Every structure is written in C-alpha cells, then in structure tokens.
Structure 1
Amino acid sequence: MRVVGFHIDNFDNHLYPDLPQNRLIPEFEIKEYCDINNHNIVSWFKIKSPYSDSDIYDNFRKLISKFSEPDAKLALVLIPDSFHLANDIETLARRVIRIRSLGADIRCTNQEYPDPFQNALKYLSFYNGKNFSNSKSSKEIIKKAYRGEVLGKIPYGYKSHNGRLVIDCKESKIVKMIFKWYSESSYGLRVISKLLNQKGNRTRRGKVWTPLTIRSIITNRSYIGTYSRYGIRITSNHDPIINIDLFNRVNSLLNSKNTSKKKYYKSTFLLSRKIICETCGNTLSGITRKRTWQLQNNEYKSKIYRYYRCKSRFENVTENSKFHSLFNADIVEKKVKKIICNWDDNFISNLSPVSIKSYAKEIQDAYSDFAKTFQNYAMSKENISHLEKTLKRLSEIRENKNVYIDEPNRKIYDQIFSPDIQESKISINQIISKIFIQNNKINVIPYL
C-alpha cells in the first residue's frame, strides 16, 4: 500500500507526558510501521515546529492539494498520533473527514490508539479543556475493551450474551448473503440494498437498507472475528461470520471501484422543517435527486431535481407510504415567496419574529452537540454523517455571526427576498411557523 508520512519533525515529548516512553521518534516509527506491514512510503510532510498551528495547516493544505490533483494516486496517511495533524479535536475531526472524503484514509502508528478519533480523545482536548481519556468513565470503558467485551453499537449479525459477541442466526444469514452477492456477482452497493428491500428485509432498527449500510457491513472487520475498540484490537475475539479470504476479496473489489469519487450536488432548502405532511403531521426535509437519460443521438443528459419529502415515505415502508407528502421544492419555494410578497405593511408590522439566541449561547450549544457526537462516533455509537452535521452547524453559526442581533420586522421580512440563500433561510425561520399544503393550496402560518 502507498503511504504518505505526516508528522512533527522536532517533536517534544514533554508536551504530552501521557505518551509511552518507549516510542520511537516520529519518522522512525512511521518507517517501522511500513516495514512491518509491507507499505511503501511515497512522500513526507514534516512540520518544523510543534508550536506552530500555521505550519501544521500549511502542510495539511499541501497534502489535500496533492490528493486533489486530476491524476492523483491516493494513499494511506500515517501520523504517529492525532496531535501531529491538529491541536484540538474539532480541527482533527474536520481534517480527517476531509482526507477520507477524497477517497484516502488516515491511521495512527500508535499501537494502543491507531484510530485517529479514539487517539484524539486520549491526547487532544475540546475547547473547554476537558480530556475524555482522563475521565473515570473512560478508564472503565477501556478496561472492558481490553477484555473484548461489548461496547457501544453491536454489529448487525451479532448479539450480546454475557457481555460477549455471539452470532445471531437470522441476521448472520443476511450478512453472508451480502458478502456473497458482492463477491460473486456484478451487484454494487445500490443493487444489493434494493434486492434486500424487495425481499422484505429491514435493518435492525426496522429501516430500509441503503448503499451506506451495505458498505458499513462489508468493511467491518468484526465479521472476521476481530474486536476493535479504543485502539485495542483483538483477533479471534468472537466467532467469525465471514472467513478472512472472502473479506479481503470483497474489500479489494470495493477499493477498486472507489478510485474516483463522485461529486454530489448540495442544495440549501429554504423551507426545511416548515412544511407539514398532511398525512402524519411530520415536518418535511429537503432532498436532491439526479436523473440521467439517453437522447436519440446516444448522448446522455442529466438534471438535478429538488424535493421536500416526509421521512415516512422511506422509513418503515408500507403500502401507505406513498400517501405521505412529496413536493417539488422549486415550485413550492416560488409560491411561498409569492404569498409572503403580498403581505401588506400593516400585516408585516404585526409579525412576532422568534427571538434568536445570542451568538455565545448558540455556539456553546452547537459545540456541546459536536463534542457529544464525536465521543459517540469514536465509541461506534454514531454514524459519521451525524458528526459531519454537527461540524456543518458550527460552521454555519460562525459564518452568520452578524445575524445574532435584534432587527426590526421590516428588515427581517426584506431579507427573505435576499439573493443570499443563507440570509433568506434565516429570516424565513424567524418569521414562518408552519406551512400547510393540501390539494395544491398553500397556507403559510407566520409567527404573530
């Protein structure tokens, strides 16, 4: 495997007294790791000073630039520990996610904490200075990990018995089926998830299978009997569902299909959580769908469609799911703005926009949510998408810091029609309480 080394060059052990004293200097440790695992080092990124945040950032930026080149060959990024990549947990999370979004991966050479997220909980701090590894609960969790006991989310296909993982006969059949389909047919993640759903199979939580859940199955080493928690890896810890040869074959095939990353279209939905489903009363969320078709001249054409959809259309799917709301987002947003545009001055003056939290309170709440989600993700209790959402929320609050002030009704109202989509969304959230759509008639309910 190709490897890129990334580390602080002139490292000062006194900065991190919890580090084992028998650790090699960073460069030698990375080289030794590669020798043991038959990896090939293709380049180095060395930070001159452990005290320079800008030096770490400059090297990280160069690394991302290298991986983003049109003909870039991806590699495994090796760091001795999390603090070689970032000085705090939030920055570490953003950088690891960025590296993985490009199709590369990152790992620590620290034998006790090879996972960068778990490593960060050991050596880095959140903004309030709290370090998870020093807490009482953390020490108890790590003791259980050394014994190979069940911690966090139990992998699909297994169940807990006296604190140990044992095979669930019913679920394990589906796990075997997934590996068989992926290795012996031309089925991809999307086709496999569709086949499982058509057969009436559901995830443990009763939800439909998705390409993401299929991917999480075929990349999970728990199915070959390996236990991994908090940097502790125990092979043959429990009975395997899949043999190691099949696991390696499937993951080799998966990696060969992921050489190029698709670019996904992102869109801001002005009315998310405002429109009410006429069937169940849930609020609607925005989704995008890309449609591609072939023209008579054999050329392909594609278009992005935006919708507001009730989650009941795809969660716990039944015959009645189709009756839950689904609307074209572009049409609805245009009509809602037209309705708001017709409000007169007297009506606008009587609006009661919801008060926005102070910036300090908003950022504090968002960061607390991030910190909790980060810890849960490191313990395999959360999905990476949840962590990404908390980071996105932090960014949005910081980018819109100037809106955390009291403003007159007219100004908030006028901002709804701003070309700045984020500014428009903030004002809509302040003024609009609910939106009902029935028989193509839209009823906008403001805060009064």
Structure 2
Amino acid sequence: MRAVGYFAENARRNGQKRSIAEQNHAFGDFCIRHGYEVAGTFLDTTDEQGATAGFAQMLHFLARPDRGFVVVAVDSLGVLGPDLGQAALKLLEIEQTGCQVLIAHTGHEAFRELVDTWADRGDGTPISEKVRSAMRRKAVRGEVLGRPPYGYRVGPRRRLELVPEEAVVVRYIFRLYLQEELGIRKIAGQLNAEEVATRRGGRWSMVTVRDILRNRAYLGHYSRFGTTVTGSHPALVTPEDFRRVQDRLQTHHGSVRTRTVQPFLLSGLLFCGMCQNKLIGVSRRQRWVTKAGEKKEASYRYYQCESRTNQSACAYNTQRAAELEARVREALKDDERPVTRLRRAGNVDGYLVDLVAQVDRVEGRMKRNRRQVEELVADAAHGHITVERMKSLGGELAREHQGLGAELRAAKDRLQAQQSEAERRKHLEALCERLTREWDALPFETLQAALRDVIDRIEVDDDDLRVYLRV
C-alpha cells in the first residue's frame, strides 16, 4: 500500500501555522504507523502561479491507471483550503480519482472530519441552517419564495393569486396544445403572430411554451425544498388535462431516450442576415424505407435562424453545417480577406470587454457551484443526508468545478494575450495563419476557441456570407 502526501504553504492546524517541514514530518510518521510506502509528495505555495500547481499535479498522478492502491494524507483540513467550502471541493475532486483522503496525525477520514467540523461550527457555517429552516417553514405554509410563475403574482399573504390577462394566455396555450394539437413551436409562432407579449414584453419561444406546459403550479400546487402544498392557490388547468399534456410530451420526446450531444463548431458566432438573431445548431435523424424494402437512416446537421426554430418567425435561413464551416474556412484565407469589425462607441475594444465579462460569468458560476457544495456539506452535517449521499451528489459538482476552472484559465489566458494593440494584432494574425494551415488537424475544442478569438461575428443570408474579424 502506498500513500501520497499533500502539503500547502502556511496551512493551519487548530489555528496554528504549520511549516512544510512539520507537515512532511507528520506525513512520515503516518506512513510508518500505518505501514504505507511513500508514493510521492506534492506542494502548493502561496504565490499566484504555484497556488494550485501541486494540487493539479497530484490529481494527474492519482488519475494514472498504474498508480495502484493509494491514499492521500494531509496534515489537516487547512491544507485543503482556508475555509471548509474550499476544502470540501478539493476533497470531492480527489475522491473522484477513487482515492481516500486521511488526516495524517489521527488517521481519520478527512470527509468525516469535515462534516463533524461543519456541524460544530453551527451558525458559523457559510450557509446558515437557520435561514434554510425558515425558508422550508415558509414553503410548508405555501408562502411564495422567489419569482411567481407566469399567470400568477404574489398576493398580500405571500400566496399566489391570478393575473387575469396572463391566466387567459396560460389556458390558451393548454387549449392550443390539447384541443387543436399544435406543436410547441407553432404555439410560440401563433402567440407571436397575435402579438401576445411575454411578461417582460418579449417574444415567445419553444422553451417558454414548454416550461408552461410542464409547470405543476397550474394544478394549484406549490412546491419548494422538496415540499408540495396542494390547493395553495387557484388552478388554471384540470388534473386530467395536465396528465394528457404530459403524456403527449412524453410520447413526443420519449422517456428513456439517450442523446449524444455533438457541439457545433460555429456556435455563438453566427447571426441571421435578415433578423440579426443567432443561428443555432440543429441535428436531425431521418429513417425511411426504399421501394425495395431496404431500411435507410441518415443524420443531418445544420445551422438555422433561432427566430425560425424557436419562435416560428423569420424566413427559412438554414445552412448545412459542413458546407457553412467550409465557406468560413475559405473566407479566412489571405486572398479572400473578411471585413474588419468596427470598434464600438467610445473607442472601447469590444473584444476585451467581452473577455472581461466572460471571466466574470465563469467566476460567478464557480461561486454558485461552490455554494451548492457547501449546501450539501451542511445537509450532511445536520443529518439531512448521509455522508455517502453527499459524496455521490457532490461528485458531479466537483467535475463541473474542474471544467469551470479550465474554462476560467483559458479565458484569463486569452485576456492576457490582448493586453496591448500590437500584441493583440500579432496574436490574432498568428491564429489566422494557424487556422488556415491546421484546420483539419486541430482538436475540435482548440479549433473552436481559436475561431472565437479571431472572429467577432458571422452574418449569413442564404448565399451571402460576411465574416467580421476582431481586428
């Protein structure tokens, strides 16, 4: 059996700083007491570049198929982060490799110590159990938490009450779907054609119509925090009609259908030249039988105007994916230079603004991800779920956190590459050359990221293609 030691500069145990030498000594004693062979040690320093380098190297080592049976030993929870939320995320990431984390000086499981420490802190935990309990009590009483669904507003007793003009639209949507048997896209198109606005004054889409058809609030039930209060507010649809709607939705989409999502190369870059809405990637699979009785099957991938797809508006602006991507590749060649995107008002580099906004968005998603992890630990600490259940649910959050971390690092790298006009131009020119030279050889993720760095937007109107560069 082998053990890996993970150390962090300025980590604390019981409020006292622990030097690297002290952590290493505790790790050595741990291996001797329990009969472990040292498989390696990893260190994170306090400088920005080394803050997580050791942890990343350790995860890479633990993911190796030839590592054998390995446990990870840390001097204390403080090695994993300055607070329990960060420690929980790192523990989940380590356990995703199949390795257990132990506390060196006690030999106890780190996850169990984390949960016990969280419980001991009580109201000092980042997510107050008092607040969560109060919200649960309100939910049990049927009091509204958050934004009311379309068709309702929050009344004086915090109960849902009808908004007459919206309630008419909800009933109309259910009638169109059940009695007139219109599809979701056609319902959105009809509402838009009749100039029925959403609550925010916008246009209807397939998503907004589908969400209304699936919302159990229209049965008069209110659900939050796993609690459902029946008859808490006026219903807008009968149970029988709601069941029929769900049966039809299930029939159309299947209950156990599995889908392999294949991303589209130009997602986020394409815009309709007629309505200026985005073109989105659409996949279709078609089956047929020939006259000779032979079964045939084919898959089609294309980009289509979102107004057409989700709102049944705009013209049929549809482009085969492979053909459009080939046209964009040709447009990037030297003998067919695309037009240059003009700077935005105030001479502000729009791309830099977009990059900063992207970094902010990813950081916001990482904060929400961490709050979800903290919520799971709090639930385990207060006995609402088991530690094993917390690990199971937290595993997916840990994987999401790792993906967000990689996305954030990539966004910051792109932002750093744009620090000056000269550097930015040089960087983008090199990317253009690389794209035209290595298009077929580049991995999909690398090719897509490079295209987003080089291209601001692509406007498509049938055969008319305009590629706007970021320089």
TM-score, normalised relative to structure 1: 0.49
Q: Which is bigger in relative contact order (C-alpha 8 A, separation at least 6)?
A: 2
TM-score, normalised relative to structure 2: 0.47
Counting helix residues as a fraction of each chain, which structure ranks higher?
A: 2
